[in-house]
Structure 1
Amino acid sequence: MKTADEAGGLFAPERVAVVGATDREGSIGRAIVENLADFEGEVVAVNPGRDTVLGYDCYPDLASAPDVDLAVVVVPPGIAVDVVRGAGEAGVRNVVVITAGFSETGGEGAQRERELATVADEYGINLVGPNSLGVLSTPTGLNATFGPSNALPGNLSFMSQSGAFITAVLDWANDQEIGFKDVVSLGNKAVLDETDFMRQWRDDPETDVILGYLEGIEDGREFVDTARDVTQDTPAVVVKSGRTEAGAQAASSHTGTIAGSESAYEAGLEQAGVVRADNVQELFDFARVLDGLPLPDSERVAVVTNAGGPGVMATDAVGDSRLSMASFTDDTLDTLTDSLPEEANVYNPVDVIGDADIDRFETAIDAVLADENVGCAIVVSAPTAIVDYEELAGVVVERQAEHDKPVCACLMGGERTAGASAVLGEAGIPNYFDPARAVSSLDALAVQREVQAREYEPPREFDVDRERAREILESAAERGSTRLGVEAMDLLAAYGIPIPAGEVVDDPSEALWTANDIDGPVVMKIVSPDILHKSDIGGVKVGVPDEEVTDAYEDLVTRAKNYQPNATVLGVQVQEMVDVDGGTETILGANRDPQFGPLLLFGLGGIFVEILEDTSVRVAPVSGREASGMIDDLDSAPLLRGARGRDAVDEDAIVESVQRLSQLVTDFPAILELDVNPLLATAEGVQALDVRLTIDPDEL
């Protein structure tokens, strides 16, 4: 948590006070008091207008109440800040503000929320909310919410930015017999946010899986750094809403969140090791398998079925996932051939055919789970008069326990599956009607396996010329430029990203001197922050011999002045001519996300950027492993690695350039956007041939 977790903390208090408690029917204050009926500790009511509330002693304020570990505040928004200040003065270190009417309403509410955070900081208060449903923790019977349902005990801890979502989830989870350890409604996150609860549950031995419904992340970089550590031991699954522009706007109006870009969240959650679910069904499908099953030792899956159609459905779903269908060893194929009817299929998916009895199923399941090539399995069955589902469920449980490999079941049907699902559920094995759900759940286990196998390496710190880079940026700011082009090539060079030989000159004779120092013809480009698309106005000349450099200089400047008379012309760039046909054009870029900070982008460049849209994104700063992963992510990676007889490019040079750009944009928050396009990659290395960037002078 952000402050010391005193007096038993937020989830295990000994005494809880409800500030605004009342016995008035239909009130939130009454609902919270009633929900605390099973709390193992002591409950006190705070309301200056009551002597008792529902049988509990009532005090006029927290100062007059016995020492309180947790205060739940249900008062009008206009006095909520004063109540929290009173809690601080009374020594209360854990506060949940149920009251709405803060940043989600804008203007005055946002100011009130800032005051709330200031008071919490002054007194070192762990504050949840405002605009929160409350918190609950099953080990102590704490239900300090105004929801209609309590939670069943379990090992899942759940945080949600939507209180209404919690009420729906708890009602559904009770029906599904899914239990929780802690549940917290984050509300507006004025003080405590998702990162704090990741830390809280990392150190909680009773939390086996962390779940979250998030509409935004307050500090993306801090979340990534924290969650990366947490998920090494404790799996985390998150549904992130607001993936579309309309969804992001709805999230903002709902909780006051300023949603960052979807690509930032996708990259950030992946780097954090968080398993992302696309919907509520996946959230709890993944939670169940991560809580109940071992991680696979490989991503190769076997399917055993008595029905060809569902077996094919499972195989198709595997093809759409990171899993792959296992190829059985000869011993496994011999066992299956000897024990199954001639009509059966012994290859994956194994079809034991429709007349299979329990013994035939058991033989096939045992054989594939014993295979060293199989990391996990799915058992699929359509109902027949020959197979008793509860008996088959018992076999699945026994075989899974013996081989200690993850198994999901698809014992398909209606009422007849209830008993079997209960048998499987007791062993932590989920049962699904749809084989695709079984595949996606095993896929989540494979993701977690990869997360726990990662060896984190810190970003590399290169020896760079930071002062030279600062001079270039400050010089642009001093002349009022917020957009820079080729005049900023030296910025890349200052951070060790290779650029062609050349200079920006402001005189025809200097242009000639520069060209004379370069072997062969040169490329000349007009340098103006006001003219971004230089080629469109004839502002680029390629293959200029020395004898034409002076005239080319004059012509470029004239074209610029004719095109835009008021444009600022800084001169002309004279640059070594590079054979782009001798390599692969890539793009290396960055922009600044409001939640996650600098994002890096890498992909095919030149004309392919907008056509193929094949790029990869990471949150900076990145390690060498993460930079290398950006190449692996590309569908076009084979083009860089020598497909169809092409020369393979120097991947190490790309990886280093990604890391160097990562360091540059991390060192200088003033850089809002930066594109190196193209970054020419060859077998000998890389060169940045062009650059554009946008800066915020106020950040320098």
Structure 2
Amino acid sequence: MGTLSGLFAPERVAVVGATDREGSVGRAILENLGAFDGDVVAVNPNREDVLGYRCYADVASVGEPVDLAVVVVPPSIAVPVVREAAEAGVENVVVVTAGFSETGADGASREGELKAVAAEYDLNLVGPNCLGVMNTTVDMNATFGPEMALPGSVSFMSQSGAFITAVLDWAADQGIGFKDVVSLGNKAVLDETDFVREWGDDPDTDVVLGYLESVQDGQEFLEAARETTRETPVAVVKSGRTDAGAKAASSHTGAIAGSEAAYEAGLEQAGVLRADSVQELFDSARALSGLPLPDSDDVAVVTNAGGPGVMATDAIGDSTLSLASFGDDTLDTFREVLPEEANIYNPVDVIGDASVERFTTAVDAALSDPNVSSAVVVSAPTAVLDFEELAEALVDVQAEHGKPVVASLMGGSRTEPAVEKLRTAGIPNYFDPARAVDSLDALARQRRITEREYVEPTTFDVDREAARDILMDAKERDDNRLGVEAMGLLDAYGIETPAGEVVDEPADAVTVAENIDGPVVMKIVSPDILHKSDIGGVKVGVANENVYDAYEDLVARATNYQPDATILGVQVQEMVDLDDGTETIVGVNRDPQFGPLVLFGLGGIFVEVLEDTTLRVAPVSEPEAREMIDEVKAAPLLRGARGRTPADVEGVIETIQRLSQLVTDFPAILELDINPLVAGPDGVRAVDVRLTVDTDQL
């Protein structure tokens, strides 16, 4: 798509559909552009002038290059108007007009025509059905919102235009400024991925914020955000939680890995900070835009009020941060400068009669400690403490040490001059100490994101043709649900399975069993019978002499249970000692936005009850697979807790990666469970498999 500089910093803007009619969008946009640094032209074939602007019949009649066209004409003529603008050389278009895909089939068809025009002329097109765009560096307010944003270094996108107007009104009171603001609308062409890329390359954008209800292409967004967040923080509020993941699914993974879980996994992998509320989003933005990142997670709390200090300490316990342990030199300094009744251990309580000098001396000592990477300063108002003087001192101390400091000066109007001094220096203030801690937590999380080293997923040597043949056999049988008859898929991708075969004659079952040491497991194989154990379709510990009869009994049970079921045969399989390992699950569910999600967790029959699982978007790299192991509560079982023999964790990590490659190679696989994947001391083996396939994609 190329650079979006012409969209946000154009030299000439044309308002197509300009009018002076009271209450109209065309008038509001034209009025809002009154302060724009560049040229503004009005386009309306029915008028000679509008609000003092000369009117042109169309964009081509302007006679000068137009960098941005803002379209506010009725939806019935919007598409030809955009085409005319494109033919006149306009490269950037904002379609404010509604009446497209949000209105039903006719609108969706119209939006399709709009996309086609944009593709034909390679347009940077925002909308349709949007509020517009802003850029404070050139004083461009190409929206019909009631006010212009304050200037700043935050760039903000929103899927809701109304949300933008509310945020800008609130942010003005909070002194929060913006560089670019864009209302995404229907995202017919430009979407969140394009703006994350643009702002990631923009040296004037320090933080990217977003309000999103959906992501157009999860894989593209993940790639763009992963690149951007190495240097520029990205934080979003994601709403629109769906019940898609709660619908009945044919696999354990499908039941657990719903759409909301996909966003959680995708945003985390992309390095995007997810906020649970608008307040948290902008609390984080304040810290991210004004403060350096801390070197570690260790925080000092300095307060003149015991209760609020404890509140800050509790918040640290609930976060990813930790209370710093002061060195001996720091404790000696506290003993020298603080009264006996003060608490010199973290949190430091300088007590209620502290002067500005005592307070800031304590903050200085804490920040001087090499074990401290950031500080929270909490203060209640007292008669002996001037907040404005304290703010000035904190600005100096923070600048001297270069470590992030956040404040919680707790009060009302008397705090306003102090808060303004802090804000000017980039130090945020929060009435609630917990919010101050949360903002530091955002800084720490961003530091960890920048420290990540992205590793390309491993490509294993596999037999793709053998896997394809198994899937094609299913297509020929018109089967879209497969079970143990598809174990060969795992073998083709190097995932170890127990010895065995699927046979369709009892005599063949005997032959297979004779080549396996010890008793065997036998399972009915039918795409129509998913829960085989529920109908007695599984026999465990079958001796060789009983295999023939067991075969016939399994087939009879299946036929009696479901006379019209397709019976492919019986699987005869080597027994795996479940007591010698840990039952885990590795599965996949394909999400509409993010594609295949790989799940790992404690397996067996309790997977959906305990829900001790974690997710990643495929393809999964080796470090990501290793993180998945560490994230589940059952990880100590794998590593040898309470005297257990450690399992082959490296084998589990490799299995996750190999399954990730399988489902990436074959988009036709919609859901897949390996449950259980038994992880023992000497390796891992996939005991059972179940998958759903879209045969139309084969």
When normalised by structure 2's length, the TM-score is 0.97
Give matches, 1:17-416, under 5 Å: 17-66=14-63, 67-243=65-241, 245=243, 261-416=259-414
Match of 2:180, SS? strand
Match of 1:58, SS? strand
* Greater CA drift, 655-664 or 681-690: 681-690
The 1-side partners of 2:467 and 2:106 are apart by 42
Deviation at 1:635, TM superposition (A): 2.4
Deviation at 1:652, TM superposition (A): 1.1
The 2-side partners of 1:10 and 1:386 are apart by 53
Question: Which residue of 474, 477, 489 maps to 1:476?
Answer: 474
Alignment check: 8 A CA contact 1:539 1:559 kept? yes
Alignment check: 8 A CA contact 2:242 2:259 kept? no
Corresponding residue for residue 437 of structure 2 = 439
Corresponding residue for residue 546 of structure 2 = 548
State the one-letter code of the partner of 1:65.
Answer: V
The 1-side partners of 2:369 and 2:633 are apart by 32
Deviation at 1:622, TM superposition (A): 1.1
Alignment check: 8 A CA contact 2:244 2:259 kept? no
* Greater CA drift, 608-617 or 593-602: 608-617
C-alpha root-mean-square deviation of aligned residues, in Å? 1.5
The 1-side partners of 2:245 and 2:344 are apart by 47
Q: Are the structure 2 counterparts of residues 575 and 247 from structure 1 closer, same or farther at C-alpha, using a change threshold of 3 Å?
A: closer
Deviation at 1:40, TM superposition (A): 1.1
Corresponding residue for residue 654 of structure 2 = 656
Q: Are the structure 2 counterparts of residues 247 and 204 from structure 1 closer, same or farther at C-alpha, using a change threshold of 3 Å?
A: farther
The 2-side partners of 1:561 and 1:233 are apart by 62
The 2-side partners of 1:152 and 1:291 are apart by 15
What's the CA shift string for 1:4-43, capped at 9, x where partnerless? 448x510111111111000111100000000010111111
Alignment check: 8 A CA contact 1:241 1:248 kept? no
Deviation at 1:375, TM superposition (A): 1.5
Alignment check: 8 A CA contact 2:160 2:183 kept? yes
Q: Are the structure 2 counterparts of residues 248 and 120 from structure 1 closer, same or farther at C-alpha, using a change threshold of 3 Å?
A: farther
State the one-letter code of the partner of 1:206.
Answer: D
Deviation at 1:391, TM superposition (A): 1.2
Corresponding residue for residue 254 of structure 1 = none
Deviation at 1:331, TM superposition (A): 1.6
Match of 1:575, SS? strand
Corresponding residue for residue 11 of structure 1 = 8
Corresponding residue for residue 610 of structure 1 = 608
Alignment check: 8 A CA contact 1:242 1:248 kept? no
1:692 and 2:686 matched: no
Percentage of pairs with the same residue: 73
Corresponding residue for residue 645 of structure 1 = 643
Corresponding residue for residue 485 of structure 1 = 483
Q: Are the structure 2 counterparts of residues 248 and 497 from structure 1 closer, same or farther at C-alpha, using a change threshold of 3 Å?
A: closer
Corresponding residue for residue 253 of structure 2 = none
Deviation at 1:247, TM superposition (A): 13
1:577 and 2:575 matched: yes
What's the CA shift string for 1:568-605, capped at 9, x where partnerless? 00000000000001111111100110000000111101
Q: Are the structure 2 counterparts of residues 236 and 83 from structure 1 closer, same or farther at C-alpha, using a change threshold of 3 Å?
A: same
Give matches, 1:665-676, under 5 Å: 665-676=663-674
Corresponding residue for residue 634 of structure 2 = 636
Deviation at 1:244, TM superposition (A): 5.2
The 2-side partners of 1:689 and 1:574 are apart by 12
Deviation at 1:439, TM superposition (A): 1.0
Match of 2:182, SS? strand
What's the CA shift string for 1:195-225, capped at 9, x where partnerless? 0011111111111111111100000000001
The 2-side partners of 1:244 and 1:357 are apart by 53
Alignment check: 8 A CA contact 1:71 1:87 kept? yes
Question: Which residue of 588, 593, 596 maps to 2:594?
Answer: 596
Q: Where in structure 1 are there 5+ consecutive unaligned residues? A: 250-258
Match of 1:213, SS? strand
Alignment check: 8 A CA contact 1:136 1:182 kept? yes
Q: Are the structure 2 counterparts of residues 246 and 543 from structure 1 closer, same or farther at C-alpha, using a change threshold of 3 Å?
A: closer
Q: Are the structure 2 counterparts of residues 235 and 472 from structure 1 closer, same or farther at C-alpha, using a change threshold of 3 Å?
A: same
Corresponding residue for residue 251 of structure 2 = none
Match of 1:17, SS? strand
The 2-side partners of 1:181 and 1:368 are apart by 35
Alignment check: 8 A CA contact 2:614 2:628 kept? yes
The 1-side partners of 2:322 and 2:446 are apart by 16
State the one-letter code of the partner of 2:44.
Answer: N
Q: Are the structure 2 counterparts of residues 529 and 275 from structure 1 closer, same or farther at C-alpha, using a change threshold of 3 Å?
A: same
Match of 1:32, SS? helix
Q: Are the structure 2 counterparts of residues 423 and 603 from structure 1 closer, same or farther at C-alpha, using a change threshold of 3 Å?
A: same
Alignment check: 8 A CA contact 2:18 2:42 kept? yes
Match of 1:447, SS? helix
What's the CA shift string for 1:70-122, capped at 9, x where partnerless? 00000111111111111111111100000001111121111111110011000
State the one-letter code of the partner of 2:35.
Answer: D
Q: Are the structure 2 counterparts of residues 270 and 71 from structure 1 closer, same or farther at C-alpha, using a change threshold of 3 Å?
A: same
Alignment check: 8 A CA contact 1:589 1:675 kept? yes
The 1-side partners of 2:45 and 2:165 are apart by 30
Deviation at 1:149, TM superposition (A): 0.6
The 2-side partners of 1:634 and 1:428 are apart by 38
What's the CA shift string for 1:457-504, capped at 9, x where partnerless? 111101011011111111111101110111111111111111111111
Match of 1:167, SS? helix
Match of 2:325, SS? coil
Alignment check: 8 A CA contact 2:118 2:189 kept? yes
Corresponding residue for residue 252 of structure 2 = none
Q: Kindly report structure 1 stretches of 4+ aligned residues shifted beyond 4 Å.
A: 246-249
Alignment check: 8 A CA contact 2:367 2:403 kept? yes
Corresponding residue for residue 253 of structure 1 = none
The 1-side partners of 2:60 and 2:361 are apart by 70
State the one-letter code of the partner of 1:565.
Answer: P
Alignment check: 8 A CA contact 1:241 1:247 kept? no
The 2-side partners of 1:248 and 1:31 are apart by 44
Q: Where in structure 2 are there 5+ consecutive unaligned residues? A: 248-256
Alignment check: 8 A CA contact 1:151 1:180 kept? yes
The 1-side partners of 2:162 and 2:316 are apart by 34
What's the CA shift string for 1:198-257, capped at 9, x where partnerless? 1111111111111111100000000001110011011111111113549999xxxxxxxx
